[in-house]
Every structure is written in C-alpha cells, then in structure tokens.
A = this chain, B = another copy of it.
Amino acid sequence: MNPGLRSGELAQAAGVNLQTLRYYERRGLLAEPTRSPGGHRLYPAEALTLLRVIKTAQRLGFTLDEVAELVDLGTHRHGRRRDTSLQRRAATKLAEIETKIADLQTIAESLRTALDAGCDDLTTCATTDCCPIPLAGLDHGDNK
C-alpha cells in the first residue's frame, strides 16, 4: 500500500514552502505525520486537502489561530454526545462568516455599480451621494 507523500511532494502539490509545513506542524495546524524508518515525514493524502482549506481560509481573512479553531471545531469526536460549547463556538463563527459575506456583497455591489455607471471612484461613492449604492454601508460604526 501507498506509504504516503513525502514532505517535498506535499509542499509542491499544495504550493507552499517546505518550511511552512513544519511551521504548521509546530502551530498544531497539521498533525504530526508518520515517519519513515529514517525519520522522514510521510503524509496521508488528506493532508493536501487540509492545506488547501487552510490557505483558502487565510485568504478570507482568518488568522492561523482562527483557522485552527475552524478546523478544530470538532476534530475531537464526531456525532454522539453533542458538546454544546463546541456547538456554540460554531454558531459564533457562523455569524462572523455571515457578516463577512454581507460586507463582501456590499463591496461587490459597489464595484458593480461603479462598473455599470462608468463611475470609478469608491471613496467618493462612499462619502458623497453621487452614486446609488455606496460603500458607506460598510460603516457599521462600532469598530473595535
């Protein structure tokens, strides 16, 4: 049976640096893989999926700690014994994500309007009312 990916293969497949794998391992994002007799890491194929999930979540503005939480929002057990604290964290995360989606939709809307209108100034759009659907919708007023 296939012994697993070597670290270099995995890194290349995921488009990350080899050192990054070790860094993620130290941070606890990537489980310690099995080793060859001589001590070389051998990763299961799922590690690639996980890495891509991590990279995607990062692009979306989550810190590594948040990514870890997202991924961890349950790596412990599955089904049975519904742990309400986990459920609650998941619900909180979900609300956060929904806010992000809404904000991105506001930005997308502004860009679309700008494109349609041949109007190309978002700041002006945000602060004056020359344009129909301004970015100012992002101003939730409660920063920090």
Contacts and interface: CB of A to CB of B under 8 A. Distances in A.
Interface residues on A, range: 35 or more
Contact of A100 (B55, B60, B127): B60
A97 B111 contact: yes
A18 interface: no
Interface string A45-83: 010111111011111111000000011011111111011
Nearest to A134: B49
25 contacts: A52-B138, A52-B139, A53-B122, A60-B60, A60-B100, A60-B103, A70-B122, A71-B122, A71-B123, A73-B114, A73-B120, A73-B122, A74-B120, A74-B121, A75-B121, A76-B120, A76-B121, A78-B119, A79-B117, A86-B120, A87-B115, A90-B111, A90-B114, A90-B120, A101-B108
Interface of A: 14-16, 46, 48-53, 55-62, 70-71, 73-80, 82-83, 86-87, 90-91, 93-94, 97-98, 100-101, 103-105, 107-108, 111-112, 114-115, 117-124, 126-127, 130, 135-136, 138-144
